[in-house]
A and B are shown apart, each in its own frame.
Chain A
Amino acid sequence: MEWKNTADVVIIGGGIIGVSTAYYLAKEGMENIVLIEKGTICGGSTGRCGAGIRAQWGTEMNCRLGIAALDIFEQLDDELGMSVGLNQGGYLLVAYNEEEFETLRKGMVLQNSLGINSRMISLKEAREICPGLSADDAFGFFFHGRDGHADPFLTTFAYLEAAKKMGVTCFRHTTCTGIVVEDNVVKGVETERGTISAPIVINCAGAYAQFIAKMAGIDIPNWGERHEIMITEPVAPGVCPCMLMSFSGNYYIQQRPHGSIICGMSPEGHPEDFEMKTTWNFLEEMSRTLVRLLPRTKGIRVARQWSGMYDMTPDAQPIIGETDVKNFYHSTGYSGHGFMLAPVAGKILAQHLAGKTPDIDFSMLDYRRFARGEHIRESNVV
C-alpha cells in the first residue's frame, strides 16, 4: 500500500477503539483518515479480551455509555454488512455479601432510571437462566437480558472493512515513534516508516497510550494490568448460557455459541506489566471456581489460556477528549471494558470532531479530572 505523508486525521492503534473511531469519522464525512498499528489488527487487548457487553454499571457515565453501545451493537450487522457474532444471553451478577448486594442494588436503581431494565432475581430464577448453577453461598442475583457478548475479531474487522470502503487507510506493522508538536499544537506523527503530517491526531493505543501521550509531553494516569483468561474445548450448549459474573467472587464465565466456555478472573496483586505471561496458578484457581459454581464443567478440557492488558485508569472510566496539546485527542483507558464501549466511544468522539453535539456529553471524561480529584470510581469491575 502506498505510503502517505499527509492525512487529515491520524489514529494510533489498531484495536477496537481506533478502528471504530476511524469508521465513525469516515461516516461523519471526514476524509483522508490514516490508522497506524504497530503490529496486526486486534493484536493488542482487543484480540485477547472476553468480549462481554453489558449495561449493568455503577456510575451514571458508564451506564449511559453501556446502554448506548448496546443499542448500536443490536443493529451492527446491518450497519457494517457483516456479522459481528452478537449473542445476548444476559449478564447474571452474583453478590456474596450484604455490602456487595447493596452496591449492586444501588447500581440497579441507577440503571433503571436510565432505561436499563436490569432486575433483582431469585436463586430459583438464576438457576433457570443458568442451569446447573451451584451458588447456595450467594447473597443475591441481578440480571439484564440484553447484555451479552460479540466476537471481538469479527467486530473489529467488520468496522475496519466498512471504514476501508469509505476510504480509510490502514497501515499495519507501523510503529508510532513520536508526536510532532509545534507551539503546543499537534502537527503529525513520526513512525518507523516516515512522518505523517496531520492537523488532528488521536491516541487509541490502549494500555500503551501513556507512552504515546508522553511523546507529546502529556502525562495520563493509564497503565497496563495483566489479566489471564482461558477457553475450553467446545461442549454441548446450556452449560453457562449467560455471562456469570461476580466482582467479589472475582470471576466471569460464559459459554460461546460454538460451545467453548471462556472465563477469567482478576490477577492477585494486580500486576502492572506488559508481559503477556500465563501461569499455572491461574489455571488451577479458575478451575476451582468453575467446579464450585458449575460442577458439570469437571470433565471439560481446557483448550487454551492466554493473557492480555487491562487498559486501566484510577477510576476505571475512560479518558476521552482533547489534551493540553491542541488537536491531540485521547480515547483510551477503558479499564477492562473497552470492547463493549467501542461503538459509542468511536461515535461520540467522531461527532465532536465533526463539530456536532455528541449523543453523550463526555466532557467529564477529560484526563485532567484526576489532577482535579473529581473522579468517582466505578465499583462494578472484575
Chain B
Amino acid sequence: MPDSVGKKDQIYVCRCEEVTLEEIDEWIDKGYDTVEELKRVLRVGMGPCQGRGCQDILMREIAKKTGKHISEVEPATVRPPAKPIKIGLLAEGGEE
C-alpha cells in the first residue's frame, strides 16, 4: 500500500472538527459529494475557523474524486456573521 493511502486516517483535512481524509473519502463514495452535504454529515468546515482552514482542501478532494474541475465544485453557503461577535455586545445594540 502506498504511503499516502495508508495514512488517510491520520491526515486531518479539518483541524477544528478533527475530520480525516479517510472519513471524507468514505462519504464521497456513498454519494455525498458536495461541500454542503459533507459539512452536514461530518461537521467539516463548521469549527471555530468556519472552514477557512479546510474548505479549499475539501473542494480539491471532491473535484479529484468526482472528476470535476475545481471551478464546478460549489463552496459552502456563507452564513453571517463573518466575524464572531460577543453576545453581550450584541445585546447592547452593538453600540459599545
The residues of A with any CB-CB pair to B shorter than 8 Å are 40-43, 47, 153-154, 157, 161, 232-234, 258, 278, 283-284, 286-288, 290-291, 297-306
Contacts and interface: CB of A to CB of B under 8 A. Distances in A.
B81 interface: yes
B67 interface: no
A302 B80 CA distance: 9
Nearest to A291: B91
Contact of A290 (B36, B84, B87): B87
A305 B94 CA distance: 16
Given A232-B87, A297-B87, A302 B36 contact: no
Interface in B14-49: 30, 32, 34, 36-37, 40-41, 43, 48
A291 B37 contact: no
A153 B41 contact: yes
Contacts, number: 73
Interface in B74-95: 79-81, 84-88, 90-91, 93-94
A284 B41 contact: no
B85 A284 contact: no
Contacts of B85: 283, 301-302
26 contacts: A41-B37, A42-B37, A42-B40, A43-B36, A47-B40, A157-B41, A161-B30, A258-B43, A283-B85, A284-B90, A284-B91, A284-B94, A287-B87, A287-B90, A287-B91, A288-B91, A291-B87, A291-B91, A297-B87, A298-B87, A298-B88, A299-B86, A303-B48, A303-B84, A304-B79, A306-B79
* Chain A contact residues, majority secondary structure: mixed
Contacts of A47: 40
Q: How large is the interface on B (under 10, 10 to 19, 20 to 34, 35 or more residues)?
A: 20 to 34
Q: What 6 A-B pairs come out closest when comparing CB atoms? A: A298-B88, A301-B84, A287-B90, A153-B40, A287-B91, A304-B79
A304 B50 contact: yes
B48 A233 contact: yes
B63 to A, nearest CB: 17
A153 B18 CA distance: 18
Contacts of B79: 278, 304-306
B86 A301 contact: yes
Of the listed residues B32, B37, B87, B90, the one surrounded by the most CB atoms of chain A closer than 10 A to its CB is: B87
Given A302-B85, A305-B79, 17 more contacts: A40-B37, A42-B37, A43-B36, A47-B40, A232-B87, A233-B48, A278-B79, A287-B91, A291-B87, A298-B88, A299-B87, A299-B88, A301-B85, A302-B90, A303-B48, A303-B84, A304-B80
Given A153-B40, A278-B80, A284-B91, A298 B86 contact: yes
Nearest to B48: A233
Nearest to A295: B88
